[in-house]
Amino acid sequence: EPEVTQTPSHQVTQMGQEVILRCVPISNHLYFYWYRQILGQKVEFLVSFYNNEISEKSEIFDDQFSVERPDGSNFTLKIRSTKLEDSAMYFCASSERGQGIQYFGAGTRLSVL
């Protein structure tokens, strides 16, 4: 069964460093998403992406965040200058249609020290 793949599974970084979280969505899907879950809190929507542009973003997704689909298969989330409060599990998801079911990867645990 096709699946969403995220790498790395765990990323440790120093505060102020840039990180790139990588995702390979399901191949025929057109809509892509990032969510995050800070430990003990709810999963929160960050951004959705379609047709090579952001279609919706939350207030969390400020100028420190960016997304890109650099080629036909990868979808990345970049955090330019990480803060301690960026420590969380980051989930990538994709869907075939805008209102379709979202399929999730296993997540990347980001630890900012």
Partner 1 sequence: GDSVTQMEGPVTLSEEAFLTINCTYTATGYPSLFWYVQYPGEGLQLLLKATKADDKGSNKGFEATYRKETTSFHLEKGSVQVSDSAVYFCALKARAGNNRKLIWGLGTSLAVNP
Q: Which residues bind partner 1 (CB under 8 A)?
A: 3-4, 6, 31, 33, 35, 41-45, 48, 55-56, 58, 91, 93, 95, 98-99, 101-107
Among 25, 2, 9, 1, which Cα is nearest to 90's? 9
Residue showing tokens 């960026």: 86
| Distance of closest approach, residue 68 Cβ to partner 1, in angstroms | 19
| Distance of closest approach, residue 13 Cβ to partner 1, in angstroms | 22
Nearer to partner 1, 19 or 107 (CB): 107
- Rg of the chain in Å (alpha carbons): 13
Phi, psi dihedrals of residue 107, rounded to the nearest 5°:
95, 155
